[in-house]
């Protein structure tokens, strides 16, 4: 019997998950989509070859997994709608930022397993990283199911839920830091006389290749950096200027600020 998955929300992250669920070679699943935008679920269902429903409760009834991929402010309303349709046999997977498992558990029947996910935007092209955390009733089998569903979107790691705000600061917000660096490198290239398209290509591919090298070798970034840094060379001169400008400390401070804001937003959402 095919696993039945109800996907509530077909925006950026919901769409990324749906793309993985329906990719060529993916395990056969019975997928039902729901979206608050009139007509969108039907359109997406037709494009992806899945079914659609008008209400979350209709999609969730009988589902093995319910994926909640709506904006955080809309989650409480979705939970109120699906609560009568789920049971401890239903895994609820949340990709809504900032809301802890307890928020879901307090609004769903006792014993419903919840797994919280913090993805990032490269998931939309299958190159993301998602951190998953188990709620009170979630067991190994539920985490394994979550990993299977998310695998097509990129790398999946397990973390304690208390660390999710740190994940948000590093990988959740991290793409913006990287785009910031790409933009800065490209702008430097333009100032040095390169055409903007060439400068942007050089910057983008350098970041892409460097990340791939770090991932594939597994070596410490400092070791890889040293291999590019010849004594009294161009790279050492550039790195010295970055150190003088406090760039390393600024990056750390930026992540700490993101962590603090993530914690603050989580409290506001829980209280709201």
Confidence of residue 272 (pLDDT cuts 50, 70, 90): low
Kindly report the pTM of this predicted structure. 0.92
Confidence of residue 267 (pLDDT cuts 50, 70, 90): confident
Percentage of the chain with pLDDT > 70?
A: 99
195 or 266: which carries more pLDDT confidence? 195
CATH 3.40.50.720 domain locations along the chain: 3-163
Query: What mean pLDDT do residues 172-192 have?
Result: 97
Helix (H) or strand (E) holding 157: strand 154-158
CA 258, CA 152: separation in Å to the nearest integer?
27
Percentage of the chain with pLDDT > 90?
A: 90
- Least confident span in 18-27, 186-195, 223-232, 234-243: 18-27
CATH 1.10.3730.10 domain locations along the chain: 172-265
162-171 tens-digit pLDDT:
999 999 999 9
Complete DSSP assignment for 111-145: T--EEEEE--GGGGGT-EEEEEEE-TT--HHHHHH
CATH number of this structure's domain 172-265, picked from the four choices 1.10.4030.10, 3.90.1640.30, 3.40.50.720, 1.10.3730.10: 1.10.3730.10
Q: Which of 224, 19, 25 is nearest to 7 (CA)?
A: 19
Confidence of residue 10 (pLDDT cuts 50, 70, 90): very high
Specify whether domain 3-163 bears CATH 3.40.50.720.
yes
Confidence of residue 1 (pLDDT cuts 50, 70, 90): low
CA 57, CA 74: separation in Å to the nearest integer?
15
Q: What is the C-alpha radius of gyration for the chain, rounded to an integer number of angstroms?
A: 21
111-152 tens-digit pLDDT:
999 999 999 999 989 999 999 999 999 999 999 999 999 999
Confidence of residue 26 (pLDDT cuts 50, 70, 90): confident
Q: Which residues contact 241 (CB under 8 A, 6 or more apart)?
A: none
Looking at every residue in the chain, the average pLDDT score rounds to 95
Query: What mean pLDDT do residues 169-174 have?
Result: 95
């Amino acid at each position: 019997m095919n696993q039945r998955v109800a996907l509530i929300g077909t925006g950026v992250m919901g769409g990324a998950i749906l793309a993985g669920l329906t990719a060529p070679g993916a395990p056969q699943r019975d997928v039902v989509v729901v979206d608050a935008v009139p007509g969108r679920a039907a359109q997406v269902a037709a494009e992806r070859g899945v079914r659609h429903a008008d209400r979350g409760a209709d999609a969730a009834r009988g589902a093995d997994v319910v994926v909640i991929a709506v904006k955080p402010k809309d989650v409480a309303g979705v939970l109120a709608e699906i609560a009568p349709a789920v049971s401890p046999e239903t895994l609820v997977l949340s990709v809504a930022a900032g809301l802890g498992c307890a928020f879901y558990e307090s609004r769903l029947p006792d014993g419903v397993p919840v797994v919280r996910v913090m993805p990032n935007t490269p998931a939309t092209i299958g190159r993301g990283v998602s951190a998953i955390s188990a709620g009170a009733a979630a067991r190994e089998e539920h985490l394994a199911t979550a990993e299977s569903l998310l695998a097509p979107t990129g790398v999946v790691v397990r973390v304690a839920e208390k660390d999710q705000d740190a994940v948000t600061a590093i990988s959740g917000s991290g793409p913006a830091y990287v785009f910031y660096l790409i933009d800065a490198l490209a702008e430097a290239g333009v100032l040095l006389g390169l055409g903007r398209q060439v400068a942007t290509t050089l910057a983008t591919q350098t970041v892409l290749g460097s990340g791939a090298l770090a991932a594939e070798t597994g070596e410490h970034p400092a070791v890889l950096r040293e291999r590019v840094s010849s004594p009294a060379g161009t790279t050492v001169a550039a790195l010295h200027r970055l150190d003088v400008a406090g760039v390393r400390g600024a990056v750390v401070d930026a992540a700490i600020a993101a962590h603090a804001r993530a914690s603050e937003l989580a409290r506001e959402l829980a209280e709201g």
